[in-house]
Amino acid sequence: MTAALALSGALAGGLSGCGTAPPAATVNGQAISIQQLNARLATWAANQPYVTEFDLQMQQQAAQQASQTGNSVPANTVSGNGTGSGVYGMYWASLQLSAMITATAVRQHLAARGLNPSAEEVAAAWAAEAGANPALWAQLTPAARSEAANYDADHALVDGQLTSASSDKSFYSAHRSYFWSQVCYLASDVTVTGAGGTVDMAASRAQADKLARSMARQPVATATGGSRVCLSPEQLLAHGTGYYDAVRALGVGQAAALRRSYGYQVVKVVSRTVIPYSPVIADDIEVVALHGGAEAPPTGDKKVIAILKAAKVAVNPTYGIWDTSVPAPYAPEVLSANQAIK
């Protein structure tokens, strides 16, 4: 078995849509399809900040192992020993499948008890992820961000009251500008056409700056100019990271001229629905800031580990086996196929 897992041959059968391919895994009878796993692999493998961080960590581990044992070992990188689109390291793929199994088991546990995180708790988890890893978070797909935030909120709900209130509060204070669920602002486009019908960016900027100063002086309650726009953080991020960061940084009543492809847009924030700090929100923060969030295994988390050990998990042998014999403080995980045959 090679260390690289290519989406071809037998694995590509999961993409055929015929409905006959076995799942990648089942959790208490609920299937995680090969299509779902492949979609997750493609999403995270396309996220360069994440790939760089993961590969560096694996290379450091391999170097440490080599220095301790005297034996050179290949690093378990995202791409494994393969290159090109659709080729992933088997070890990394097993980690991703483990994460999907964990999220499924935790959701089942909560659903059986009629428990669901509130919309504010999910929004707080989204905000914590955005604050902790802004470049990585911005490059995920909206679906992947939603999946991660929902898992973080589920995880926090399982664990209940956590233990690092001081660190949680410090994180909230340092990343306060991320903790909101909706922002409303007035937006006015400014485009000055120059010679030949092209946009004169310098003239557009000068006019936009003048308008921004004027709008900033207007009381919020009576402010006018442009269209009123209300967006969630996810909707705002769809306009680009630069735009998202600029609007996020504006306080209520502040205005700024933001460069756009057509010239400038003047934005004045008129309201923001803040997610206030509370013990419940602190739990969401702690899952992300201290425990690594959606991409980290639940090492040392006794409640999640108990859920995983009680779950009936079956893994497609193409990917490996489900290993519940790992010693504390580690959680059950998929032992990848190439590890399992060593």
**Interval 272-276 mean pLDDT:** 98
pTM over 0.85: yes
Q: DSSP states of 146-181 as a string?
A: HHHHHHHHHHHHHH-S-S-HHHHHHHHHHTGGG-EE
Phi, psi dihedrals of residue 294, rounded to the nearest 5° = -65, -25
Determine what percent of the chain falls in helix, strand and coil, rounding each to the nearest 5.
Answer: 50, 15, 30
Look at residue 72 and give its three-state secondary structure: coil
- Name the residue ranges covered by the structural domains of the chain: 4-172+278-340, 180-274
* Rounded Cα gap, residues 6 and 322, in angstroms: 21
Distance CA 201, CA 192 (A): 7
pLDDT of res. 84:
42
* C-beta neighbour count of 286 within 10 angstroms: 23
Helices (H) and strands (E) in the chain, counts: 13, 11
How many percent of the chain have pLDDT more than 70?
Answer: 90
**Where is pLDDT greater, at 242 or 9?**
242
* CB-CB neighbours of 310 under 10 Å: 12
DSSP per residue over 239-296, as a string?
Answer: T-HHHHHHHHHPPTT-EEEEEETTEEEEEEEEEEEE----HHHHHHHHHHHTT-GGGS
Confidence of residue 21 (pLDDT cuts 50, 70, 90): confident
Please state which of the ranges 3-17, 32-46, 90-104, 277-291 shows the lowest mean pLDDT.
3-17
pLDDT in tens, 319-335: 999 999 999 899 999 99
CA angle 189, 193, 196 (to 5 degrees): 150
Give me the amino acid identity at 333.
Answer: E
The residue type at 139: Q
| Cα dihedral sign, 74-76-79-81 | positive
C-alpha distance from residue 281 to each of 66, 117, 170, 272, 316 (Å): 42, 11, 13, 18, 37
Give the span between the Cα atoms of 12 and 187, in whole angstroms: 47
CATH topology of domain 180-274: Chitinase A; domain 3 (3.10.50)
Q: Which letter, b or e, does each residue of 237-246 get, where b requires 16 or more Cβ atoms within 10 Å of its Cβ?
A: bebeeebbeb
Residue 151: per-residue pLDDT: 96
User: pLDDT digits over 53-91, tens only?
Assistant: 999 999 999 899 888 888 887 888 898 754 444 578 899
Judged by DSSP in three states, 89 sits in strand
pLDDT at site 86: 53
In degrees, rounded to 5, the angle at the alpha carbon of residue 284 between the alpha carbons of residues 279 and 288 is 135
Is cis: bond before 329, omega within 30 of 0? yes
Token pair of 68, please?
A: 């301790």
| Lookup: tokens for 116 | 């669901």
- In this prediction, residue 12 carries a pLDDT of 35
Task: Give the lowest-confidence range in 21-30, 143-152, 163-172.
Answer: 163-172
